[in-house]
Amino acid sequence: MDSLHVIAGVLLQLVVAAILRTDVADRRPWLLAFGLELANEANDLVVERWPDPGMQWGEGAKDVLLTMLLPTLLLLLSRRCSGILALARR
């Protein structure tokens, strides 16, 4: 299940960037992906009831970190080292 979070975060960022017709260097795709992930984890907290709330909060925090790790890396790389991710433009 953890790998799904990693994949979902990158896909969310790329799909939102495509919908907004921008690139991953723009903060908006990252912010929307982050907002959707927080909404997903808030839903999990409301819907699921674990015997140990501390463990549930810990798993939720881990899910947020896993989901946003690669989108954050893409955002930072595209803003700081744009040559790495740039397509050839003419």
pLDDT grade for 4, boundaries at 50, 70 and 90: confident
Residue 61 in domain: yes
Structure tokens at 90: 């003419």
Residue 90 in domain: no
Residue 87 in domain: no
Residue 56 in domain: yes
Q: What is the pTM of this model?
A: 0.82
Instruction: Give 47: exposed, middle or buried? Use CB within 10 Å, 0-12, 13-18, 19+.
Output: exposed
The structural domain count of the chain equals 1
pLDDT grade for 90, boundaries at 50, 70 and 90: very low
Q: Which domain holds residue 44?
A: 2-82
Residue 69: its pLDDT value, please?
Answer: 94
Percent of the chain predicted with pLDDT > 70 = 90
pLDDT at 49 over 50: yes
Mean pLDDT of 31-39: 94
φ, ψ for residue 23 (rounded to 5)?
Answer: -115, 175
